[in-house]
Amino acid sequence: MASSFKQIEDKLKTEAKKLLKTGQVSVVLAYGKGYDDNHPMPYIAKLPSDADNIVFNEYCTHNLARYLVRYPKGTKIAVAVKAADSRAVIQLIQEEKVKREDLILLGLPAYGMKNSKTGEIIDSQTTCGLYNPVLYDTLLGEEVHGQPVVSPYDVLAQYEAMDKDARFEFWKKEFDKCIRCYACRKACPMCYCDPCFIDQNNPRWGEKSPQSHGNLMYHLTRFHHLAGRCIDCGECSRACPVDIPLYLFHKKVAKECEEMFGQASGMRIDDKPVLVNFRVDDSDKILE
């Protein structure tokens, strides 16, 4: 029997308070109360008394690994991680953006997470669908046993049934909706480039105006920058105010990477990002 959200919340509060009190960390990244119960917010606890404001429920979908790169190197941080979030932390460690020894990972074994806009369950749909964090120091609740019955790639069925031209038409139509608010890249834990290519003036890689070709340039470049790095948390799609299903492309690329290189992103600290690593037995499928 898995732990309830309330049980996890209580443990998260206790653990955060302990870590801040003993000075093991200076910051705890967790969730706090939003304007109502269905809209919790990422919350940054700095004092032991802040820990009382922590909440955890099925709407705490945000990926807190997003905030790690904001802190100066060497800051001791405890971060609450669900499955995909822990993969993001691992990926950031692989990419040397954060150090394992600076982090305390508070694992949240949770399933049945819901999108606060639609109320729909997101597990395996827009997320990787794992129940337990891949890496943690303390698991705040009982480990969930068993494997997800649905593969995270099942949602691709309809997309994969389309041929090349249909896919291009599909994305063109979706990207025409884009208003270039950049919520996708800002919500993404792996989008930490400063400056982002699309913000550069000289040279300029893409137009600022929200037109088809500029939107395509922005999104396709972002998709490819995330190849082999996206950990399938689905935050980009949930952040989008016009509901562009960005997760489909990320999942598709993740699936191809996994098939070609036998490695999913953010699963082991010792791995190297697939597109950075070279092995003599690497698949040549991409050249065929």
The interface region with another protein, picked from 91-99, 122-130, 179-187, 264-272 by CB under 8 A, is 179-187
CB of 132 to another protein, least distance (A): 24
- Nearest alpha-carbon partner for 227 in 245, 253, 247: 253
Beta bridge partners of 106: 80, 138
The interface region with another protein, picked from 95-103, 164-172, 206-214, 224-232 by CB under 8 A, is 206-214
Enumerate residues 6+ apart whose C-beta is below 8 A from 69: 92, 97, 98, 192
Q: Is 235 in the site for another protein (CB under 8 A)?
A: yes
Binding mask 130-159 for another protein (x = CB under 8 A): ------------------------------
Which member of 5, 43, 153, 218 binds another protein (CB under 8 A)?
A: 43
Which member of 130, 187, 264, 267 binds another protein (CB under 8 A)?
A: 187
Q: Is 172 in the site for another protein (CB under 8 A)?
A: no
- Nearest alpha-carbon partner for 117 in 13, 235, 205: 235
Q: Is 179 in the site for another protein (CB under 8 A)?
A: yes
- Nearest alpha-carbon partner for 152 in 239, 266, 283: 266
Q: Is 202 in the site for another protein (CB under 8 A)?
A: no
Which member of 23, 74, 146, 195 binds another protein (CB under 8 A)?
A: 195
Q: Is 115 in the site for another protein (CB under 8 A)?
A: no
The encoded tokens of residue 157 equal 């069925």
d(CA 144, CA 152): 17
Closest to another protein by CB, 32 or 273: 32
Q: Is 42 in the site for another protein (CB under 8 A)?
A: yes
Provide the Cα torsion 89, 189, 264, 268; round to 10°.
-10
Q: Kindly determine how many residues on this chain lie close enough to bind another protein according to the rule CB under 8 A.
A: 39
Q: Is 22 in the site for another protein (CB under 8 A)?
A: no
Q: How many H helices and E strands in the chain?
A: 8, 5
Closest to another protein by CB, 60 or 135: 60
Q: Is 39 in the site for another protein (CB under 8 A)?
A: yes
Closest to another protein by CB, 193 or 276: 193
Closest to another protein by CB, 120 or 194: 194
| Residue 202 half-sphere exposure toward CB, CA atoms < 13 A | 0
Closest to another protein by CB, 182 or 223: 182
CA-to-CA separations, 122 to 53, 61, 271, in angstroms, rounded: 25, 9, 27
**Residue the block writes with tokens 């399938």:** 232
- Nearest alpha-carbon partner for 94 in 278, 275, 271: 271
d(CA 255, CA 258): 5
The encoded tokens of residue 153 equal 């790639």
Q: Is 107 left (phi over 0), alpha (psi -120 to 50) or beta?
A: beta
CB of 276 to another protein, least distance (A): 26
Beta bridge partners of 24: none
CB of 217 to another protein, least distance (A): 12
Binding site residues, another protein, CB under 8 A: 34-36, 39-44, 62, 66, 70, 116, 177, 179-183, 185-187, 194-196, 199, 201, 207-211, 235, 238-243
